[in-house]
Each structure stands twice: as structure tokens, then as C-alpha cells.
Structure 1
């Protein structure tokens, strides 16, 4: 009962506008009093859990995302992809989806993708006939490819709290990511002509379009980043943590020396913003580790497993119930909260049901894609609306349509077709 009340307390504090990290601190204080926990021991265990080499990758990937935005890398990626597919029916929307995917293959975060890709593409999309509400909804959902396409900050957090291989989790979300890309491109193509009419030709006020060869040449340094990062990880050249350092250094070098769009002022702002984001996540992790220690000591996950298996015997129904819970949790909590609190809580149940922990990581990632764009909280969707300068009410309908016809089917396929997530990790020898 205390565990359930703790989750309700977390929702209440976040609903009242308390910062996420301090909402976790409030829950920790309640559980420490309710279970008479030793805070000295908990603090020591919490710091030991945060003292992880894997977590060094977190600030580096966050910094990479900010450096891509300020160093001109994101804009050249968008120009390159738009040159290739932008003139086809639904091409501008497809360009946004693909640009978000490529951005995610470098930075590993959704918020940076929303800010970078949205700032560049919302106005051209509107000039081509896309309603701002629809464009913002498409931006919100496609930006979550940063969570699915490796490297992924969310999967790094999942690996830390569940003691799984980071490389295996990176590989597990590739299949769902490709499925989501195809689904979003097809849905956008169907929307063009039914929900709105796409205007052919170049966007108004745009500069003279580049040839494919010139756009490719200009984007080549940026396009080399995902190949260096992913090729290095899966080729055994360096670990995910080392890959994060390589990505940050490469983004800095390209911004300063190749494109020369980076400045010391922009660089310092990127470092400060990355430090603020990382500090918030580390605090959440610290408090969540301590909360997890209390819950584990009081056997809350085991009691939850016994309760659900008593009420539901069919493994398929258990999977559906967990899917529904993850989506609802994602609609109320942010992706970090879902990953570090809810996911470990359900992991024993999933293992008892026969779900591999790496497969469960892919399921959690898909649920975050849906939850982060679902009302009432919808943090990524709200951010997309701010970037798109449009009322949230104009984005809810198209966002829910994309979730219903693309997001949820991708999550269900990921859940009930384990090989979609496990084939690549097994092929690469990670599991």
C-alpha cells in the first residue's frame, strides 16, 4: 500500500509544479518515514549506485546534442535530407522524420531533437501547406526517435537501474525505431491530400536550393558522426561511454573547425545547458536508487508480481496490462521517471512471465514514445508546441491519431514479436 501511495504522491507533487528531482526527494522522505529506513545507509548506497562509469556517457551525449544545435550540424543534416526526399508527396514531413532519426543516432535525446529540428523545419512545413498543429504533432512524435535509435540516454538509464548491457539495449531498439520511421512516413503520406493539401515546389523565401551532390558534400562531416559512434560501439573499437566522448569531441571539432558556426559564446551556453540537464537527471537517479532500495527491501516488486499473477494468469493479458500501465504512466510522468522507477518495479514480473530484460527495455522505450506525447502532461508535445508557436489544442487531435495508428501498433508489435528487439543483440553477441 505504501508503494502505491508513493507513486500517487509523486504524481501529486509533479502536478503541483514541484520540480521532478524534488518530487522524488519528497517521495523518498515519505518512504523513509513509513518504513523507518536508515538514511545514512541509503545515502551511501545511492552514491555507490550513481558512481558508475556508464553514467559518464550521460553528460557527454547531452552535450553532443546541444553542440549539434549550436554548431550548425543539425541544420546541414536537415538540408541534406530535404534535398533527397523533400519534393515528393509528403516529402517535407518525411524529411522531418528522417532528420529526427539521424539526429537521434548522434545525440540520443528527444528534447534536443525537438529544439533543433523544429526550429529549422516548422516554418518550411507551414509554407508547404502543413498546418502548424499537425507539423508540431509530427515533430513531437518523430523526435522520440532519439530515444529509440542508439545511442539513447533513456536506454543508458535503463541499463544502469536494471544492470543490463548498454550495447544490448542500444541494439534492441533499432528494430522498433525503423518500424516507427516507416509508420510515420506512411501516415504522413496518407495525411497529405486527406487532412491537408501539400503545396508543391520550394518554400517561400528560401535560399536557392542546393544540388544533391553539394548538399551531400556539406552534410558529410555531420553524416560521419553516426557511423563513427555506432560503428565504433558495435565494431568493438570503443565502449558506449568512450563513444559518448568521441561524439562530443567530434561535434565540437566539426562546429569550430569545419562548419565554423560554433562560437565561444554558443559553446559556453551549450556546456551550461548540458550541465543543468545532467544535474537534474543525476539527482533523479540518486533519489530513485534510494527509493528502489527501500521498495526492494520491503519486497514491493515481488508483492506486485504476486498480485498481478494472482489476478491475471494469461501471459498475453499480463503483457497487455503492463503495456497499458506503461502508457498511462508515460502520459503522467516524464521519460526519466518512467525509466528509473516504473520499469524496475515491473522487471521481476516480466522475467517471471518469460520476457527477456533487454526485450522489456525496448517495450519501455516504445511506451515513452507514446506517453511523452499523450495528454495530460505530454512534455515533448508541449515543447513541440512552443517551438511551433501553436496552441496545444490544435496538436492534440493529430498527435492522438499518430499515436493510435502508428505509436501503439509499433509498441504492440515490439511486445508480441520478441525477435524484433532480440535479433540484433543476439546477432552481435550481446545476449
Structure 2
């Protein structure tokens, strides 16, 4: 019961506006008091948990995302994709989806994708006839491809807190990412001509002046080479995910400074400061969550939760549905980091007892974050997309819920009940 009270307290603190890191600190203080835990021992255990080589990848991938935004890499990616598919029916919306996917394959974070892709594409989408409310909703859910497409910061955190292989978690989320991309493109194409009319590229102010395919491909080649180098290096055994993060950050600096020349020392400094602030917040959350996890483990709360749920629900399918529902509800109130580092380890023993592989569970958690992060009341990614799109959240909620109901939720259910969607690639690569 105390474990559920702690989660409820965490949600309450976040709802009333307490910063996420200090919400975790409040929950930790409550659990230390309730269980009379030794804070000195917990601090030592928490420090040892965050003293991980794998976590070095976190600030490096975050920095890569900011450098892509300020170094002109995102702009070239969008131009290339728009030239290739933007003139077809629903092409502009599909361009934003694909751009978010490729951006996610380099930076691994949704917030950077929202800021970069949204700033570049919302205005052109409006000129092509897309309502800002719909564009912002589509931006919100497609930006979360950065959570599913490796390298993913969320998957790194899941691997660290559950002691799984980072590369295996990366591979597990590829299948759901492909399903989400195809589903969003299909839904966008269905909506064009039914709910709004897409103008031709010539009708948009300045949108017909994009470079030709060959020129766009040449300009985008340095940016497009980054995911190939990063993912090829990881799965080819050339370097570890941590080393891949260093390669990604270094490549983004080289491309931004010397190839595109959009990056200068002032914007580089801003990117470093922003990455440091983001990383500091996440590390604090991790530190507090590891300490909370130690208390939960010592009190055998995950095992008690497994027994309780197994007693109340005997059908494994119903257990999976219940866990999916809880993950979505948690994601509606908590951010992706909080869901990953607190809720996921709590339910992992139950999932293993039900017959779910931990790597498969990683992709289930990632899919739940895609839905929860765009669902009120908190909906952090949707709120950010609306700020970028300069539209009221109330106008974007309806299209966002429609996309999640007809695309996000089916992808999550397929991922949950068809394990091979997640496990095929890890098995093929020898991780499972």
C-alpha cells in the first residue's frame, strides 16, 4: 500500500507544479520516514548507481540534439525529405513524420525534435492548408519517434534501471517505431481531403523554391550519414552505445561548424548550457529514483505487487491490459523519464512472472510513453508542440486524441500482444 501511496504522492506533487526532480525528492523523504531507512546508506547506493559508464551517453545524446537544432542539420533533413515526398497527397504531413523519425535516430529525444522540426515545419504546413491545431498534434506524437527509434534516451534509462542490454532495448523498439510511422502516414493521408484540404506546393508562399532532389540529397548527406554511422557502429560491434553518443556529438559539431557553418561559438555555448541543464535534471531524478528503488526492493514491494495482481487477475491477457492501462495513466501525469525509472522497475517482476521478456517490456513502456506524453492533464510534449505551433492546447487536444486512439493505441496493443514485433530484431542480432 505504501508503494502506491508513494506513486500517488509523486503524481500529486507533479500536478501541483513541483519540479520533477524535487517531486522525487519529496517521495524519497516520505519513504525514508515511513520505512525508517538509513539515508547515508541510500546516498552511497544511489551514487554508485549513477556512477555508470552507460549514463555518459545521456548528456552526449542530449547535446547532439541541441547541436542539430542550432547547427542547421535539422533544416537540411527537412528540406531533403520534403523534396522527396512533399508533393504527394499528404506529403507535407508525411515529411514532418519522417523528419521527426530521422531526427530521433540521431538525437534520441522528443523535446529536441519538437523544437527543431516544429520551428521549421509548422509555418509551411499552414501555408499548404494544414490547420495549426492538427499540425501541432501531429508534431507532438511524431516527435516521440525519438523515444522508439534508436538511439533513445528513454531506452538507455530503462536499460540502466532494469539492468538490461542497451543495444537489446534499442533493437526492441525498432518494430513499434516502424508501425507508428506507417500508421501516422496512413492517418495523415486519410485526413487530407476529408478534414482539411492540402494546397499544391506552388500555392504555398515560397514552398515551391526548394532545391532539386540531387542538390537536396547532397546538402543532406552529412546529416543523413549520422544515423547510419551511429546505428551501424552499435550493431556492427564497432563501438558501444556510449561511444556512439560521443561520435554523434562530435559529428554534429563538425557538421555544424565546418560543413553547414550555421553553428558558431555563441550558439555552441548555448547548446552546451541547455544540455547541461537537461542532463542535471535527469541525473537528479535518476539518483532519487535509485534510492526509492532500493527502499522498494528491501521492502519487497514489487514482489508483493506481483502477488496482489496475480491473485486479483488470473488471466495473463487481462494482466497485460491492466499494466498497459496503468502505464498510459501514469504517462498522462508523469513525464517519460519518471515513468521509465519508477513505474517500469515496479512492474518488471510482474511482467516476467506473466511471461513477458524484459526487452519486450521495454518497447511496451516506450509505446505507453508515446500515448501518455500527448494526453491531458499534463501532456508535456503536446503542450510544447502547441507552444511551437502557437495554438491553444484546447484546439489541439481533439486531433491529438484521434491520432492516439487510431494509431498510438493500436501500435501499443500490437506491440504488447505480438511479442515478435519487439523481439525479432534483438533475436536476429543475438541480444536475446
Flag whether TM exceeds 0.5 (same fold): yes
Cα offsets for 1:295-335 (capped at 9, x unmatched): 11111111111110000000000000000000000001000
State the match for 1:108 in structure 2.
108
Look up the SS of the partner of 1:410 in the other structure.
helix
State the match for 1:80 in structure 2.
80
Look up the SS of the partner of 1:99 in the other structure.
helix
State the match for 2:346 in structure 1.
345
State the match for 1:169 in structure 2.
169
Unpaired runs of 5+ in structure 1?
none
State yes or no: 1:186 paired with 2:162. Answer: no
Cα offsets for 1:146-180 (capped at 9, x unmatched): 00000000000000000000000000000000000
For residues 245 and 318 of structure 1, what CA distance do their matches in structure 2 show?
Answer: 40
State the match for 1:62 in structure 2.
62
- Do the aligned residues in 1 keep the contact of 2:156 with 2:166 (CA within 8 Å)? yes
Give 1:66 shift: 0.1
For residues 372 and 235 of structure 1, what CA distance do their matches in structure 2 show?
Answer: 33
Give 1:4 shift: 1.2
State the match for 1:201 in structure 2.
201
- Do the aligned residues in 1 keep the contact of 2:79 with 2:210 (CA within 8 Å)? no
State the match for 2:146 in structure 1.
146
State the match for 2:6 in structure 1.
6
Look up the SS of the partner of 1:164 in the other structure.
coil
- Do the aligned residues in 1 keep the contact of 2:6 with 2:31 (CA within 8 Å)? yes
For residues 327 and 23 of structure 1, what CA distance do their matches in structure 2 show?
Answer: 20
- Do the aligned residues in 1 keep the contact of 2:140 with 2:385 (CA within 8 Å)? yes
For residues 38 and 119 of structure 2, what CA distance do their matches in structure 1 show?
Answer: 48
For residues 135 and 224 of structure 2, what CA distance do their matches in structure 1 show?
Answer: 25
State the match for 1:213 in structure 2.
214
State yes or no: 1:370 paired with 2:356. Answer: no
Cα offsets for 1:179-225 (capped at 9, x unmatched): 00000000000000111011112321347221000000000000000
For residues 50 and 78 of structure 2, what CA distance do their matches in structure 1 show?
Answer: 36
- Do the aligned residues in 1 keep the contact of 2:59 with 2:275 (CA within 8 Å)? yes
- Do the aligned residues in 1 keep the contact of 2:104 with 2:150 (CA within 8 Å)? yes
TM-score (norm 2): 0.99
For residues 354 and 108 of structure 1, what CA distance do their matches in structure 2 show?
Answer: 29
Give 1:112 shift: 0.1
For residues 67 and 83 of structure 2, what CA distance do their matches in structure 1 show?
Answer: 23
State yes or no: 1:253 paired with 2:275. Answer: no
Look up the SS of the partner of 1:318 in the other structure.
helix
TM-score (norm 1): 0.99
Taking only aligned residues, the RMSD between alpha carbons, in angstroms, comes to 0.6
Tell me how many residue pairs correspond in the alignment: 431
State the match for 2:39 in structure 1.
39
State the match for 1:95 in structure 2.
95
For residues 393 and 12 of structure 1, what CA distance do their matches in structure 2 show?
Answer: 23
